Amino acid sequence: MKKLILIFSLLFPVILFADNYTSVKTGDWTSSATWVGGLIPDGSKENTITISAGTIVTGTNLIFSKATEIIIEEDAELIINTLLNVEIDAAEAHKDFILNVLDGGSLTIDGNFTVAKDADLTIDGEATIDGNLDLGKGAKITVDLDGTTGGSLTVTGDLTAPSGEILGEGSVIVGGNVSGDVVGDDQINTLPIKLISFKAFLNNNQVIINWVTASEINNDYFSIERSYNGIDFEIIGIVSGAGNSNDVIEYQTIDNNFLQGISYYRLKQTDYDGQFEYSSLIVVKTQKETVAQDMNVFPNPVMRNFENVKVKIKGFNENEEVYVKVVNIFGKVEYSNKFYSGFDGTIDLSLDSDVFKSLGYHIINISSSNKSYSKRLLVK
């Protein structure tokens, strides 16, 4: 896990007069059971809020109008759905908002993050904003200041800052547009393409694969890749890119030799210089899935860091060497281990809740030298 530190100037006025709140267990932001003493943070007051180690706090539509400090400790996580909005009122204009995610902490915002003024972000770990990052004037973003933590900031939407600076050695990735007068914006890596959609469906005994881009930078070509298990992929087609474009472009290709059962597709986008990026996976079912009858995964969906996942499957030989992999929707292996089947050829195991490092769909693949089974699992 990594950390994010978002610090604003005039620190002492925030700390000296703030109420203190600390999470005591994993839970919802609005639940009194989540917080020490049952006290729920109030965004209309000055707060110092600590997400303590080993806890995950999930909030929706968090809005702050007073100077506030949020600290996310090691092995702690703050997940914000829809938006995080900081609009400090005129009477508090001399004070700021502080978000401090310590080493081993994690921040995920499934929506937009807006700060009205003087945003000061220091990121020594990993922060993901699945939306727009809109910072007021005087913004300062420091990502992995000394190059030792591997810090990164990913914004899937637009990054806007009327004025400010970017410092540090870490990675800043922006999926949309970057606007404003920001010193050091050459540190920002804009994604080579902005993908609006990527879909595949069965039609008249063909799998039609469509994708749409909103913009392209140095885009040489797309490789369309297919997999029977979500792990091992083969290239089934190549389509030329548009190079550089700010227009909406629709692409299509056809898989005439599609696989029976469940298939997984992804795009590999390659630049002129050989750099490449993968899309997330999409799934096409062309007939009734038979593997699912042999492989049971429960619960599904599963709450991340709350529940272990039980996996049971028959069909292997007695004491057969079997490999288990868990892969997220971006193709990253989050877990891999070796087991041996029982006397009746059954694999019966429990995956710890901390196996799943990210939210969203995952593929659980169990394979031997001559058999392979896969099942999708949704992690919430």
CA-based nearest residue to 267, from 218, 208, 229, 210 = 210
Strands 120-123 and 139-143 turn out to be parallel
Extended strands (E) in 137-290: 139-143, 152-155, 159-168, 171-174, 178-183, 188-190, 193-203, 206-227, 233-245, 249-255, 262-271, 276-278, 282-285
CA-based nearest residue to 41, from 27, 29, 25 = 29
Q: What is the homologous superfamily of the domain 291-379 according to CATH? A: Macroglobulin (MG2) domain (2.60.40.1930)
Q: What is the pLDDT of residues 105-144, one digit of tens each?
A: 788 888 889 886 777 787 877 888 888 888 877 777 888 8
**What is the average pLDDT across 2-6?**
36
- Where does the pLDDT of residue 210 fall: very low under 50, low under 70, confident under 90, or very high at 90 and above? very high
Q: What is the homologous superfamily of the domain 194-285 according to CATH? A: Immunoglobulins (2.60.40.10)
* Six token digits for residue 298: 């429960």
Residue 182 one-letter amino acid: V
DSSP result, 272-339: TTS-EEE---EEEE-S--SHHHHEEEESSSB-TTT--EEEEE--PPTT-EEEEEEEETTS-EEEEEEE
CA-based nearest residue to 59, from 110, 18, 131 = 110
Helices (H), the chain: 11-16, 291-294
Q: What is the pLDDT of residue 92?
A: 53
Q: What is the pLDDT of residues 145-175, one digit of tens each?
A: 777 766 778 887 888 888 878 888 877 878 7
DSSP 8-state assignment for residue 259:
P
